[in-house]
A and B are shown apart, each in its own frame.
Chain A
Amino acid sequence: MEYIKLEDIWKTYKTKKVVTTPLKGLNLSIDKGELAVILGPSGEGKTTILRVIAGLIKQDKGHVFLRGKNVDDLSPKERNIAMVFQSYAIYPFMSVYDNIAYPLKISHVSKNEIESKVKYIADILKISDILQKKPSELSGGQRQRVAIAKALVKGADIILMDEPMANLDAIVRVYAREELKELHRKLNTTIVYVTHDQVEALSLATKLGILHDGIIQDYGDPMEVYKNPRNSWVASFVGNPPMNLVEGIVKNNEISFIRGNLKFGLPKRYLNNINDGQEVIIGFRPEDAIIGKGQFKGKVSMTEKIGAYTVIHIDVGDNVLLRLIQPAFANYSRGDEVNFDIQEDSLVLFDKKSGKNLLR
């Protein structure tokens, strides 16, 4: 069931000099119980999406549906959602306990009930021992927990999260991620989470959405988005290093690079979706190459040693550079001639003009 649905959302911001339109006819529907992560470059309107869902700003055009109902004219209060802000927005003048209890206090819940609810949530998030502290005495990780506790305490079944881990350091972030996943499994709420961090997005999401140019470019299972992106922009954005994208042309059931001297047999699954002579963009993931043997040859132009793996840049002629990943420490240096192969079933072909995945 579609629990959150955005239909043709447009939003334009006007300041004195600049007019920006972060959302240009955005469509998105999220099922109940998903942890949907929206991934996109900075400044492309991720936060705007959340604010539109929350009702903090009104879209210029389009409709928002929550739980199957149109909520365009409802205030944030009436939409019954919770939100975790990037800055956490914990009131500095209240204790942690009062902060968490605030949404309940506003809706005139009895004191006993507030206490039991706050204690229950604090227990889940392991912050029972800091309830009497002031926010200024807390560490970044604790603040984040308080912000999440505040979002959970209302019992809203839709929670919006605006990069809640952006202010945490790397190690705490890994734990926080795991805990959030665990929490989501336990409570089974619908969460919309926006971030610009790829690793976070891929590891957290049960559904991953890619935002670019004001619309959702791709939405689905994170590994599906990773392996079989809907268009070449998504392919170039997701993954680090991203997918190799090379222009090619199809002839006689063979694909050849337009520049650089490489040829593949056309994978069978594409036979019905492609015309002879069609120009395509060939994509494959850097980790889907085998280095050291194979039909292709190239010259190493650069190696990046990351530690767990090494990225090797290979020049296959005519200034076409491919990035390939070799596990662990590869012993190649600049100028070496290398043989390599590309696993055929990992190839993804995009139409050159539209950039669309030819199979999706």
Chain B
Amino acid sequence: MKFRLIKKIVRLIISYLVLIAIAIWSVLPIYYIIMTSFSKVGGLISISIKTLIPNHIYLGAYKTLLEGRFIPSIKVPNFPIWVLHSIELAAATAVLSVILAMLAGYSLSRMQMPAKQTLATFIYIITFLPMTATAVPLYLLFAKFHLLNYLGLILAYTPGTAVFAAFLAKLSIDSIPPDYEEAAMIDGLSRFQAFLRIIFRLALPVVMLTALLGFLGAYMDYALAYAFIGPASTKWTAMIGLYYLSGLFNYAAAPAYNIFAAGAVLMGLPLMGLFLVSQKMMTKAYSNLAGIK
């Protein structure tokens, strides 16, 4: 009896130790970034236990980002406008990704067409290829079509999400009984209306997941944005702006890591909001795709 109790306690202690270790492992970098953003030191901070607990909080990095005007041709504080650009790009990418993914997913799931299975497999395989690898050919191609602008960026970002999401959408729509659409068509909707009003609603978790992935992909991108709109500072996105402001853009300058960290925190805020709002949906999406209901 006693031996059993000891065994149970030891087991609990070991599990908690492992859990705590993993928690520290995953939270520490974020904590480090947040602490750095409140520090005064512009250069690389030496990592020691001491620096992890700040003596005083210094908001200079945030002030610089929120109020600073570094590029003379932009008449408003630079960084916020760049974040706004990023959000615009990301939102457009998200919307376009959802439309493409749902249309493709619906046809792959419901329509009769030759080589459907092959196509679905092909789409699945394509998602394994790294999107960054397409930067150079995309640049060359889009330069020819005068698409080295926001429109081009959106067009370039979208497949990165939409292709994978089309596969997710197919799986999700597969699990929706066709009776729902047919009932809707008898209720008085056309097939397309039934798709918009019924299928979209029933597949909402996957729609949200697609939107989120699309938003994230575009919001976090540096490589394609730098290639497409690198020279035009008025059009920069938050990512490029951040690299520039923290001195990483220019190798000769001393890197200002506190600015970089503050920018990362600021950029993370809209994402955090998005995640909080859609958390319930996301849980549904994952369990839906895993077949758990």
Contact = CB atoms under 8 A, between A and B. Distances in A.
Interface of A: 51, 54, 56, 75-77, 81-83, 85-87, 89, 91-93, 102-103, 106-107, 150, 154
Contacts of B185: 56, 75-77
Interface of A: prevailing SS: loop
Contacts of A93: 201-202
Interface of B: prevailing SS: helix
Interface string B32-50: 0000000000000000000
B16 interface: no
Nearest to A57: B182
Which 8 pairs across A and B sit closest by C-beta, in order of nearness? A89-B183, A89-B179, A103-B187, A106-B188, A76-B185, A85-B179, A77-B188, A87-B179
A35 to B, nearest CB: 19
A89 B182 contact: yes
Contact of A54 (B180, B186, B202): B186
A23 to B, nearest CB: 18
B190 interface: yes
Contact of B187 (A56, A75, A87, A106): A106
Interface residues of B, number: 14
B198 interface: yes
Contact of B188 (A85, A87, A89, A107): A107
Q: Taking each of A92, A93, A102, which has the highest tally of chain B beta carbons within 10 Å of its own beta carbon? A: A102
Contact of B189 (A82, A83, A92, A106): A106
13 contacts: A51-B182, A54-B186, A56-B185, A75-B190, A77-B188, A77-B189, A77-B190, A85-B182, A86-B179, A87-B179, A91-B180, A93-B201, A154-B187
B190 A85 contact: no
A76 B201 contact: no
Nearest to B193: A106
A150 B180 CA distance: 13
A85 B187 CA distance: 12
Given A93-B201, A93-B202, A76 B186 contact: yes
Contacts of A75: 185, 190
A144 B180 CA distance: 15
Given A81-B186, A102-B187, A106-B187, 6 more contacts: A75-B190, A76-B182, A89-B182, A89-B183, A92-B202, A107-B188
A82 B177 contact: no
Q: Taking each of B177, B185, B202, which has the highest tally of chain A beta carbons within 10 Å of its own beta carbon? A: B185
A56 B188 contact: no
Nearest to B182: A56
B288 to A, nearest CB: 13
